[in-house]
């Protein structure tokens, strides 16, 4: 079996030393149905970062989302697509703790103690989680940035909130992150309002990622940007997500954006998930009438 | 599954239901089955429109088969691509199953060298080694060095296809799917691609391909798998 280019992750996986090569395997094969999610092909036996079960939310009598369920593992990006009003932004707000779900459960694998039900957390615990483990990239950078303080301070104050006090180190980290998102470090002391829309969005990403989050929520991160600016941002996000092994939930109505960033896709309509699966499978072989309509309506994805 | 088998397909059925056209049902194939051994190349055979590309895409789980099994030897076990969850399918694609499509899907702004190296990087090969492998392949496929730092978006069709092929060979996948790998290539580059496929077989990889080029098929394929003609095949 030497021809198998098993990755380092697989080498220590649950199948290591299973003695399969050359042997008879009862049942003939192993599939995703026979092996539970947690056991199958884990990279080093990891477990879900977030598990969502039967999530629902209503604004008064109007149901915005219902029966939403998914599991997200470290390093995975889940795309949520659907038209305006499909419930995708409400779902994101529930996940990110801005709305309290009316139904269902969200389990999050918190450091260091393991899975916790987010509904049982105190407000202080929730805020700590947002400060230390989560990041949110808003569609409008003004919602994620502090427009009255410099670019460097926008990045640095996230570190200060974590207890960093060494001014030189904070400034160094800010410069590093400006460079990471391709903003000239000369602009460190400028206010974000002097930046273009694309630069503001990149600054927001630097501010989000400087704390080294495990989970990032992205709400139409490329919305409202020129196509060329969008391409740069997508490339940047793609690279950073891979390098930092980030997990993400990406809400977008642009299928091309979802194709580039998301490993898996959920298609929402009327508050429900109508189709989900591998991103390329959902986009290239859509099954649900709504997904087919969505895909065939796009110019080219 | 016998140890020498890389891939076993059984009772594979694929139908498209097109709701945007009043629920038209297109039956592409049903009950297909074949085996692929280590070091072997199976060429999918049949007239244009009989579903060869659909079968290839189904094997990669890019298309979702209605029923049946696609068993592939992966990481010391055997995985069914039809019933496995997305995460498992992605793991198989990362390490075991390569796919050379007919066209390169260009990623904006990413330089050619990185486009080619990416599958190896994702599979855990150190970046420097992945880039070295990518350079070797690009050189063999006659992509001039001055183009390596540019994104392939503006390249000619033939150049893009060679970038695509380099990307497909940058990792030594145990199973490789190839959709017309030599289409739009000149004689020299066709020769290089045939060499690459020959080398893959020699190291024990199993290949499934669509080759309209008779010479390529005769030289690389060990067997033909005939797809039955279907009335309404897409």
Q: Is A18 on the interface with B (CB under 8 A)?
A: yes
CA distance A144 to chain B (A): 26
CA distance A295 to chain B (A): 10
- Sign of the C-alpha dihedral computed for residues A175, A238, A272 and B84 taken in this order: negative
On the question of pLDDT at B41 being above 80, the answer is: yes
Q: Give this prediction's pTM.
A: 0.87
Say how far apart CA B107 and CA A103 lie, in whole Å: 40
Please report the pLDDT score of residue A300 as a whole number: 57
Q: What is the largest CA-CA distance in chain A?
A: 68
| H/E run at residue A114 | strand A114-117
- Sign of the C-alpha dihedral computed for residues B187, B193, B198 and B199 taken in this order: positive
> Do residues B3 and A22 touch, judged by C-beta distance below 8 A?
yes
Say how far apart CA B67 and CA B186 lie, in whole Å: 40
Q: Which of A18, A242, A285 faces B63 most closely, judged by CB atoms?
A: A285
Per-residue pLDDT band at A25 (split at 50, 70, 90)? very low
DSSP A30: B
Please report the pLDDT score of residue B3 as a whole number: 85
Contact A292 B18 (CB under 8 A): yes
- Residues in chain A with CB shorter than 8 Å from the CB of B74 are 4
**CA of residue B9 relative to chain centroid, distance:** 16
Which structure tokens are listed for A117?
């039900």
- Cα distances (angstroms) measured from residue B143 to each of A114, B159, B182: 50, 7, 15
Per-residue pLDDT band at B109 (split at 50, 70, 90)? confident
Helix (H, G, I), strand (E, B) or coil at A187: helix
CA distance A87 to chain B (A): 23
Instruction: Kindly report, residue by residue over A106-126, the tens digit of the pLDDT.
Output: 999 998 889 999 999 999 999
Say how far apart CA A19 and CA A25 lie, in whole Å: 9
Say how far apart CA A106 and CA A139 lie, in whole Å: 24
Q: What is the mean pLDDT of residues B116-138?
A: 96
Q: Is A245 on the interface with B (CB under 8 A)?
A: no
- Residues in chain A with CB shorter than 8 Å from the CB of B17 are 287
- ipTM value for the complex: 0.93
- Sign of the C-alpha dihedral computed for residues A95, A99, A103 and A107 taken in this order: positive
Q: Which of A21, A234, A280 faces B76 most closely, judged by CB atoms?
A: A21
Q: Which residues contact A189 (CB under 8 A, 6 or more apart)?
A: A150, A151, A152
CA distance B173 to chain A (A): 7
Q: What is the mean pLDDT of residues B110-127?
A: 94
Mutation target among B86, B154, B201 for the A interface, most CBs of A within 10 A: B86
Mutation target among B19, B69, B168 for the A interface, most CBs of A within 10 A: B19
Say how far apart CA B3 and CA A148 lie, in whole Å: 66
Q: DSSP secondary structure string, chain A?
A: -TT----HHHHTSTTTT---TTS--TTS-B-TTTS-TTTTT-SSS---SEEEEEEEEEETTEEEEEEEEEEE-TT-EEEEE--TTSSHHHHHHHHTTSS--SEEEEEEEETTTEEEEGGGS-HHHHHHHHHHTEEEE-SSHHHHS-TTS-HHHHHHHHHHHTT---HHHHHHHHHHHHHHTT--GGGGGS-GGGS-HHHHHHHHHHHHHTT--SEEEEESTTTT--HHHHHHHHHHHHHHHHHTT-EEEEEES-HHHHHHH-SEEEEEETTEEEEEEEHHHHHHS--SHHHHHHHHHSS--
Contact A13 B75 (CB under 8 A): yes
Instruction: Kindly report, residue by residue over B141-163, the tens digit of the pLDDT.
Output: 999 999 999 999 889 999 999 99
Per-residue pLDDT band at A227 (split at 50, 70, 90)? confident
On the question of pLDDT at A299 being above 90, the answer is: no
Say how far apart CA A268 and CA A241 lie, in whole Å: 24
Instruction: Kindly report, residue by residue over A166-217, the tens digit of the pLDDT.
Output: 999 999 999 999 999 999 999 999 999 999 999 999 999 999 999 999 999 9
Tracing tokens 């000369």 back to the chain, one arrives at A186
Closest CA relative to residue A294, chosen from A79, A67, A63: A79
User: H-type helices in A133-278, by residue range?
Assistant: 141-144, 151-161, 167-180, 197-209, 227-243, 255-261
Instruction: Kindly report, residue by residue over B190-217, the tens digit of the pLDDT.
Output: 999 999 999 999 999 999 999 999 999 9
Q: What is the mean pLDDT of residues B55-71?
A: 97
Say how far apart CA A194 and CA A175 lie, in whole Å: 18
Antiparallel, parallel or unpaired: β A264-269 and A272-278 = antiparallel
On the question of pLDDT at B90 being above 80, the answer is: yes
Residue of A nearest to B88 (CA): A41
Of A19-33, B58-72, B110-124, the least confident: A19-33
Please report the pLDDT score of residue A33 as a whole number: 27
Helix (H, G, I), strand (E, B) or coil at A16: coil
The mean of the pLDDT values for chain A is: 84
Say how far apart CA A176 and CA A170 lie, in whole Å: 10
Bridge partners, B71 (sequence order): B8, B80
Please report the pLDDT score of residue B234 as a whole number: 43
Please report the pLDDT score of residue B231 as a whole number: 56
Contact A28 B78 (CB under 8 A): yes
Per-residue pLDDT band at A233 (split at 50, 70, 90)? confident
**Backbone phi, then psi, for A271, in 5-degree steps?**
85, 0
Say how far apart CA B231 and CA A64 lie, in whole Å: 45
Residue of B nearest to A260 (CA): B107
């Amino acid at each position: 079996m030497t021809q198998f280019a098993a990755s380092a992750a697989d080498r220590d996986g649950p199948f290591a030393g299973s003695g399969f090569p050359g042997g008879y395997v009862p049942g003939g094969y192993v599939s995703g149905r026979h092996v539970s999610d947690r056991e199958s092909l884990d990279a080093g036996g990891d477990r879900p970062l977030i598990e969502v079960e039967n999530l629902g939310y209503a604004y008064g009598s109007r149901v915005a989302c219902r029966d939403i369920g998914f599991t997200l593992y470290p390093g995975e990006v889940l795309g949520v697509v659907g038209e305006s009003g499909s419930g995708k932004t409400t779902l994101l707000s529930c996940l990110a703790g801005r709305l309290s779900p009316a139904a269902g459960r969200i389990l999050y694998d918190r450091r260091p103690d393991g899975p916790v039900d987010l509904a049982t957390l105190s407000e202080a615990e929730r805020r700590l989680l947002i400060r230390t483990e989560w990041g949110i990239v808003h569609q409008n950078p003004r919602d994620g940035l502090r427009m009255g303080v410099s670019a460097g301070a926008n990045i640095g104050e996230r570190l200060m909130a974590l207890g960093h006090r060494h001014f030189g180190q904070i400034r160094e980290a800010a410069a590093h992150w400006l460079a990471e998102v391709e903003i000239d470090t000369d602009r460190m002391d400028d206010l974000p309002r002097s930046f273009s829309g694309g630069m503001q969005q990149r600054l927001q990403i630097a501010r989000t990622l400087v704390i080294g989050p495990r989970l990032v929520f992205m709400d139409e991160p490329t919305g409202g940007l020129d196509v060329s600016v969008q391409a740069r941002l997508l490339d940047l996000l793609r690279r950073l997500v891979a390098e930092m092994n980030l997990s993400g939930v990406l809400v977008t109505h642009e299928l091309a954006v979802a194709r580039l960033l998301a490993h898996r896709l959920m298609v929402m309509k009327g508050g429900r998930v109508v189709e989900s699966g591998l991103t390329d499978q959902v986009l290239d072989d859509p099954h649900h009438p709504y997904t087919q309509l969505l895909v065939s309506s796009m110019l080219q994805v | 599954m016998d140890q020498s088998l890389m891939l076993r397909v059984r009772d594979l059925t694929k139908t498209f239901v097109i709701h945007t056209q009043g629920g038209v049902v297109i039956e592409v194939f049903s009950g297909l089955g074949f085996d692929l051994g280590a070091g072997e190349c199976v060429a999918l055979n049949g007239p244009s429109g009989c579903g060869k590309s659909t079968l290839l895409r189904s094997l990669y789980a890019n298309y979702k088969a209605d029923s049946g099994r696609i068993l592939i030897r992966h990481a010391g076990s055997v995985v069914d691509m039809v019933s496995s969850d997305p995460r498992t399918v992605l793991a198989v694609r990362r390490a075991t199953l390569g796919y050379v499509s007919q066209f390169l899907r260009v990623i904006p702004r990413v330089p050619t060298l990185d486009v080619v190296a990416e599958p190896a990087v994702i599979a855990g090969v150190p970046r420097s080694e992945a880039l070295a492998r990518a350079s070797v392949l690009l050189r063999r496929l006659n992509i001039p060095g001055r183009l390596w730092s540019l994104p392939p978006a503006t390249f000619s069709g033939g150049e893009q296809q060679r970038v695509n092929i380099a990307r497909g060979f940058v990792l030594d996948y145990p199973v490789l799917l190839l959709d017309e790998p030599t289409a739009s290539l000149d004689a020299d580059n066709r020769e290089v691609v045939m060499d690459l496929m020959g080398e893959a077989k020699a190291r024990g990889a199993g290949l499934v391909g669509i080759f309209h080029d008779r010479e390529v098929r005769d030289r690389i394929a060990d067997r033909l798998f005939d797809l039955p003609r279907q009335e309404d095949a897409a």
